[in-house]
Structure 1
């Protein structure tokens, strides 16, 4: 019997060994820390600014600095994974994330807090793809969907519960606990990591391309920063928006030209020559945009349009996270059984079908109906976004996973930034035009549905690429 090739559906009977599940459980701790930390800190910005005596324009850098630093370290994670044991890289990044969380909690000034958030973002940018690399190498392509489905629970569930957890913490404790909550997660994950993570090693020998780091890391960070400034300026033509985006795109173009001709590039962009990987990452760009855009839009929808408080908003969003948690394991099994392309086509169509009704509901829509739609959107996300990530990783060879995980995460972050910027532009233009408050949210939800439809269309291309790969390497 010939083994299935990367990018092809696996045998349903292929059982996952216990050590792979243990590895997944350990890595999930780190994923929960990274995703929960973002939503918790965003909620606490106003409280942090008041306590440290800093204006909102300054304290917003607590969130922005983290994202920019994460964009830089994502580009060098593949190189680090080749220089050291990948599990050692993950443990080191996790330890750094935990220590910088403590430093953030005891920051005496806003400037100190912003600086420690930069260090925390650098650690997170190494920890997240390193964990995914460990999982991908342990699971193999035939089991990628089921294993990544477990990790996806953190990706969808942690941000969904973040507002409720953050609101409760701020109601009873001070803001440093938003960072100190990472400490028990980090200590448990480190202990489990020493015990259970396999000693997986990448391919050593590459020298660090410093110019590539500047072009790629600076380019990604500049694009994300410029797009995020749309939310504060309300315009795509403002200098703080278009100049960073233009410089970032120029940097990324320079990096692509440099990497295409390099024998040992910082990131192997030649992976885009793989049709299945190219289609999966392209579809993931739009699916990630719809998911991250929704995570920003939904809290605003409840807080601004419905006038609900912080804790109540968090409770209202639990239905979305619960739907994802319920469906993600099943989505992983379906991905391994039928292929990520086929599952993602239907999953992203389902996301659009669940989100689109929100573009027509009145401002006083029935609360039960809203909860049902959010639960349905969570269910659909479980079979829409993660199969694309699984397909991208399954399409490459084992030694290519460090580059693949970095590229997938970069595409998701940029896609999320584009979607968030789109939401910000729509809402600000609607307010400036004197529309009814609900009209801007209607248009924003319609835009997210359109992103999901685009992801579904791109997933059709992925399905075709996977089918051709299967035809070239059939199971005898």
Structure 2
């Protein structure tokens, strides 16, 4: 990084140059994250449009996730080799090109293939954005940078269902993909002008063996995990075979990387205590929080019978709560370290999630929305400070690899959490005949007129109870996050050595 682009370490606020870069990065990240939740509400539409089963159209989600898992490990090396600006522009082109092709899909097969192309571009946008922002702002302002990057993570789950439902109802499903074209063009032109050119480091050879082990390994493992809800159990060939093969490849990569100087993922980063603790905390938090977030729209849709647009609006308080605390959390992380904030955030999330462990078929909406708002406030001082703990003490050439690693962990852990919560909820429903009947009616598999009103009311209550039991397990996992969070730094993280292994000090 040149002196022109390096921030003044003494500067406390994010200057206009950094904020412009943040605007570019947030635009790209919003597209990538929003697209996941936008498509989730379009699955019933795809079923009707292409005359396909739910299991088939669900591949429009799975293909995107697997493409992300395949490309993220290569991002760190590619950023060093080609430069973050060029790679970011290429990622935008891939993502927007894939979006346009998705809008032109004539059958479910091509749509799934184009979604994979979209994922190849989208998978690089977030880790690249983290790298660009962290380098631009410097280590003293990582907390505030992570707070800015948290915006798209909030807007995706909130805005996705609202935008997707509105576009499908008022225009057509094609526009959930075409909407990315104008945003992508603006982001590309903005990035071309604003992002600083960085000097790539082509001296490191590409770890082809590492790529052949890690990328397919992650994809196969996530494929196995994502097949769990459809199979209803872990002990199924479709789950175990790809899952175990993928896990074996990932383990093989670990042994390979330990003996290689320039591995695809630099495992020597785990010598950094802060990063290691942050990885453990992020893994457990993503499993618990991402999994429980999946259940929120399902409760409103299936138990309360709300539409997709209304459900999206009902989820908004969570984002509002996070927007309230995230900027404060970013500033405090830079000043006092992430440890105390993350602990407080986990406790606040647990308090809000506790409301949902008691949900019924007629739980008052003000109580539900209040619980969401409280959860959002907790999330605002939890997820991004954990990221800050991982990246704040890395030197410049380690940032791309570190942000790539954190994104891989977040993606994998989130997929595991989603699958685990789906299976728990499914099993809870299957154990209750009344809940199964009501669920069948909501899915259109059983005609509503064929079920007596009393049975429907009983089934609605039983389904709500199944959600409450699943939320209870999510709450236990959230509380367990306190254990690794206790070891996060509770004072400002200082980088005092720019050598290969940075020396860390806690500043009082």
TM-score strictly above 0.5: yes
Q: Indicate which of 8, 20, 23 corresponds to 1:22.
A: 20
Residue of structure 2 equivalent to 1:6: none
2:302 is the alignment partner of 1:276:
no
Residue of structure 1 equivalent to 2:473: 447
2:258 is the alignment partner of 1:260:
yes
After TM superposition, the score normalised by the length of structure 2 is: 0.88
Change (3 A) 1:332 1:439: same
Change (3 A) 1:468 1:193: closer
CA–CA separation in structure 2 for the residues paired with 1:13 and 1:198: 19
> Where in structure 2 are there 5+ consecutive unaligned residues?
1-7, 436-461, 497-502
CA–CA separation in structure 1 for the residues paired with 2:180 and 2:505: 45
CA–CA separation in structure 2 for the residues paired with 1:437 and 1:111: 34
Residue of structure 1 equivalent to 2:463: 437
Q: Indicate which of 456, 461, 465 corresponds to 2:482.
A: 456
Question: Does the 8 Å CA contact 1:62/1:113 hold for their aligned counterparts?
Answer: yes
Of 102-111 and 254-263, more deviation after overlay is shown by 102-111
Q: Indicate which of 275, 295, 298 corresponds to 1:297.
A: 295
2:323 is the alignment partner of 1:345:
no
Pairing 1:196-215 to 2, within 5 Å after superposition: 196-215=194-213
2:314 is the alignment partner of 1:316:
yes
Change (3 A) 1:361 1:475: closer
For 1:473, what is the secondary structure of its paired residue? strand
Residue of structure 1 equivalent to 2:399: 401
Q: How much does 1:364 deviate?
A: 1.1
Change (3 A) 1:270 1:65: same
Question: Does the 8 Å CA contact 2:492/2:506 hold for their aligned counterparts?
Answer: no
Question: Does the 8 Å CA contact 2:359/2:467 hold for their aligned counterparts?
Answer: no
Pairing 1:226-237 to 2, within 5 Å after superposition: 226-237=224-235
Which one scores higher on RCO, CA 8 angstroms, separation ≥ 6?
Answer: 1
Q: How much does 1:309 deviate?
A: 1.6
CA–CA separation in structure 2 for the residues paired with 1:47 and 1:364: 28
Question: Does the 8 Å CA contact 1:293/1:423 hold for their aligned counterparts?
Answer: yes
Question: If you compute each CA radius of gyration, which structure gives the higher value, 1 or 2?
Answer: 2
After TM superposition, the score normalised by the length of structure 1 is: 0.94
Superposed CA offset, 1:274-314 (max 9, x none): 11001111111122223321331101111112121211111
Residue of structure 2 equivalent to 1:385: 383
Change (3 A) 1:468 1:103: closer
For 2:149, what is the secondary structure of its paired residue? helix
Residue of structure 1 equivalent to 2:114: 116
Q: How much does 1:262 deviate?
A: 0.3
Change (3 A) 1:321 1:232: same
Q: How much does 1:452 deviate?
A: 2.0
Of 125-134 and 438-447, more deviation after overlay is shown by 438-447
CA–CA separation in structure 2 for the residues paired with 1:12 and 1:200: 23
Residue of structure 1 equivalent to 2:505: 473
Q: How much does 1:202 deviate?
A: 4.4
Question: Does the 8 Å CA contact 1:215/1:252 hold for their aligned counterparts?
Answer: yes
2:165 is the alignment partner of 1:167:
yes
For 1:461, what is the secondary structure of its paired residue? coil
Q: Indicate which of 310, 325, 328 corresponds to 2:326.
A: 328
Question: Does the 8 Å CA contact 2:340/2:490 hold for their aligned counterparts?
Answer: no
CA–CA separation in structure 1 for the residues paired with 2:11 and 2:352: 32
CA–CA separation in structure 2 for the residues paired with 1:133 and 1:469: 17
CA–CA separation in structure 2 for the residues paired with 1:318 and 1:11: 36
Pairing 1:56-95 to 2, within 5 Å after superposition: 56-95=54-93
Q: How much does 1:372 deviate?
A: 0.7
Question: Does the 8 Å CA contact 1:157/1:325 hold for their aligned counterparts?
Answer: no
CA–CA separation in structure 2 for the residues paired with 1:474 and 1:437: 50
- Residue-pair matches, total: 467
Q: How much does 1:37 deviate?
A: 0.2
> Where in structure 1 are there 5+ consecutive unaligned residues?
1-9
Question: Does the 8 Å CA contact 2:360/2:465 hold for their aligned counterparts?
Answer: no
Change (3 A) 1:83 1:447: same
Superposed CA offset, 1:124-168 (max 9, x none): 112221111101111111101111101101112222121111111
Q: Indicate which of 223, 246, 257 corresponds to 2:244.
A: 246
CA–CA separation in structure 1 for the residues paired with 2:69 and 2:265: 13
